Structure 1
Amino acid sequence: MRHVIALDVGGTGMKAALVGADGTLLHRARRSTGRERGPDSVVADILDFAADLRAHGIEHYGEPARAAGVAVPGIIDEAEGVAVYSANLGWRDVPLRARLTERLGVPVALGHDVRAGGLAEGRIGAGRGTDRFLFVPLGTGIAGAIGIDGRVEAGAHGFAGEIGHIVVRPGGAPCPCGQRGCLERFASASAVSEAWAAACGDPGADAADCAEAVAAGDARARAVWQEAVDALADGLVTALTLLDPRTLIIGGGLAEAGETLFTPLREAVRRRVTFQKLPSLVPAALGDTAGCLGAGLLAWDLLETAGSPAPSAPSEVTA
């Protein structure tokens, strides 16, 4: 049974799957990233995980994977297959594609985690059938994926879609990127958690707690939430002015608040739009599986260039 390996490497955990030629998810697995043991150990764990997935395919499906797709965070040189920089994993210039190709003996596609998630959302998730979209996951930080006609734009230097570093509040809170007032300092899940913890006096409070308090009518929570919504709307309108997407897809932990987020956000974007065409603003559909599904699509795309067709949409786990 023909299949590929799909790996989504995060700051704390790795999600993986074997994806069949018809799009079926044949096997899924998760492991810790193990970043506390250092960047070299993370690379070793990725190689071991991929090798174990290859062995599983041989044992259960009668042949090794035809290719592998791996999505990782940070700055990625997709053409060269190099993880240029990742603060979360402590990487600099890691030739990850070459290391995996050597270990697995098959073609390997290396991609950015958010862009891979955007690829999956665009093809088989909330953006399916949309020619132009912007995927924005609101997590610890904020990034973005620019989707155009079934592909996701990486940019000339691998930075395309970094909407979290649009300055929305000049002179505002300092950002690790070196600027002040970046969008992710106001509208990420971590920023909302920090602001709500300070407002309610509970250092353990987080963004989910804030959303619950908003729904319950807490005035302090509403103020914190509205500040985040307004900052996010400013960033999104800047992006849609430049990119003119047909659909804005919002994912990540903050989007789990549902209409507590989407109702005021749609209104805030609508108020800011003047000459621009108002896009659809929808929640992501694939949850935390998007990156892994996107990695699988990258692997099938790689094979498609050699004549093997890519599947249209992965289905449920069957083994």
Structure 2
Amino acid sequence: MMTYARYGHSLTIGVDIGGTKVAAGVVTSGGRVLARLRTETPERSKSPSVVEDTIVAVVSELRQEYRVRAVGVGAAGFVDERRSRVLFAPHLSWREEPLRDALSVRLGLPVVVENDANASAWAEVRAGAARGVDDVVVVNLGTGIGGAIVLDGALHRGRYGLAGEFGHMTVVPGGHRCECGNRGCWEQYASGNALTREARELVAAESPVAEVLRQAVGGDPELITGPLVSELARKGDRACRELLEDAGGWLGVGLANLAAAFDPELFVIGGGVSEVGELLLGPARSAFAKGLTGRGYRPEARVVAAALGNEAGMIGAADLAREALPRGRSRRRQQRLGRARW
């Protein structure tokens, strides 16, 4: 039997698409995830049709138990200003992909497509670490760096829907080559990939300070991962802590640049790399304060960890889909009285 009456007409599904997985959840208007599904996409996922089929499959399974009104999709890539097409996805083969319309036809439901970082940021503003704050910059540290901007309580997507690609700001001219084709991008210095690269180079150089790390992988640098570095750092390994300090320093450099551009009240740091907490955020705050334009003569934005973890993308995508639905008279009246919050 479908679960419906208890939640009225408020249920939507949020889908979070990464390079290797599709995660989906049924979400209430209060941000509660009632049911979840996650599937790993096979190597052939680089085919747009395979990912589309996977989305349809997980949404259809969730709809067997829950009656929902709309679907929101958070996609790791450039999404156009109409929130309909994925223009470019670096880890998938989507190019000018009309994902919204294709899914809407197959599912028979309204669909909204949004950049995954925007979806995560929206969730943090509505129900997470940035709740009650109107001017926020969210930075997600994963394989790369994603970002989003919330100004005056609304997502700032840019004229063409592409704002927030902070990871590809140049911080070191002529620096490390980035997957985007440029050199010296921020994500080459403060992301999970950067952390892994630096750790592997340290072990490959047979540095004595990396002995614990070398033993952990049996001397094979290719077995080093970002989570392993974080785990050893938590256990007190000096080399791994220094690697995180370096990444945190680069994180702070980028935040200072973003503060000069947007002057937010709050920075929210999410993504898998941020789960190490103060080992990363402490050095980031120090570098941020040191690099801040006009330091000592201006308010300094707070830098905090995200609160919603891996579910932020699906929660935010689900709420953005709900927001795009036609609004009834009572909802419009509520908004006239003041911005609705969870």
TM (norm. structure 2) is 0.83
How far apart are 1:213 and its partner, in Å? Answer: 4.5
Residues 269 and 12 of structure 1: CA distance in aligned 2, closer, same or farther (over 3 Å) = same
1:156 to 156, 159, 167: 159
Residue 44 of structure 1 corresponds to: 53
Contact 1:142 1:184 survives alignment (8 Å): yes
Gaps of 5+ in 2: 205-220
Q: Does 1:8 align with 2:19?
A: no
Deviations 1:168-187 (A, max 9, x none): 11111111222211110111
Letter in 1 for 2:147: G
- Structure number with greater Rg is 2
CA deviations over 1:90-140 (Å, ceiling 9, x no partner): 111221111121122222111111110000011111000111011101100
Aligned-pair distance for 1:72? 0.9
Does 1:165 pair with 2:168?
yes
- Specify which of 72, 81, 93 is matched with residue 84 of structure 2: 81
**How far apart are 1:35 and its partner, in Å?**
4.7
Aligned residue number for residue 191 of structure 1: 194
Partner Cα distance (2:232, 2:30) in 1: 44
Report the Cα distance in structure 2 between the residues aligned to 1:117 and 1:308, rounded to whole angstroms: 27
Are the counterparts in 2 of residues 248 and 282 from structure 1 also a CA contact under 8 Å? Answer: yes
- Counterpart of 1:39 in structure 2: which amino acid? P
Q: 1:92 to 1:307 in 2, by over 3 A?
A: farther
Matched length: 307
CA shift at 1:305, angstroms?
3.9
- Aligned twin of 1:27: 35
The superposition leaves residues 38-76 of structure 1 with CA deviations (integer Å, 9 ceiling, x where unpaired) of 22111122123223323332xxxxxx3211111111111
Distance in 2 separating the partners of 1:267 and 1:164: 20
1:245 aligned onto 2:264: yes
More moved, 228-237 vs 297-306: 297-306
Residue 108 of structure 2 is matched in structure 1 by: 105
Cross-structure match for 1:147: 150
Q: In 1, are the aligned partners of 2:256 and 2:289 still within 8 Å (CA)?
A: no
One-letter code of the match for 1:56? E
33 and 213 in structure 1: CA distance in 2 versus 1, 3 angstrom threshold? closer
Give the 3 Å change call, closer, same or farther, for CA 219–75 of structure 1 in structure 2: same
Match of 1:294 among 310, 316, 322: 316
CA distance in 1, matches of 2:329, 2:310: 30
Q: Which residue number in structure 2 is paired with residue 55 of structure 1? A: 64
1:210-260 CA distance string (max 9 Å, x none): 344545665543543333222221111111100001001011111111111
The superposition leaves residues 162-201 of structure 1 with CA deviations (integer Å, 9 ceiling, x where unpaired) of 1111111111111122221111011101110111122124
Question: Conserved in 1, the CA contact under 8 Å of 2:20 and 2:42?
Answer: yes
- 1:117-132 equivalences in 2 (<5 Å): 117-132=120-135
**Judging changes above 3 Å, is the alpha-carbon distance between structure 1 residues 106 and 247 closer, same or farther for their aligned structure 2 residues?**
same
Residue 31 of structure 1, CA deviation: 1.8
Answering whether residue 303 of structure 2 is matched by residue 284 of structure 1, we say no
CA deviation after TM superposition for structure 1 residue 307, in Å: 5.2
Q: Which runs of 5+ in 1 are unaligned?
A: 58-63, 314-319
Aligned residue identity for 2:303: L
- Following the alignment from structure 2 to structure 1, what is the Cα–Cα distance between the partners of residues 29 and 202? 51
1:297 maps to a residue whose letter is D
SS in 2 for 1:126: coil
Q: Structure 1 residues 266, 35: CA separation in 2 closer, same or farther (over 3 Å shift)? A: same
* Identity, % of aligned positions: 37
CA distance in 2, matches of 1:212, 1:184: 21
TM-score between the two structures when normalised by the length of structure 1: 0.89
Q: 1:116 & 1:269 partners in 2: Cα distance?
A: 25
**CA distance in 2 between partners of 1:109 and 1:208 (Å):** 32
Q: How does 1:188-227 map to 2 (within 5 A)?
A: 188-201=191-204, 202-214=221-233, 218=237, 220-227=239-246
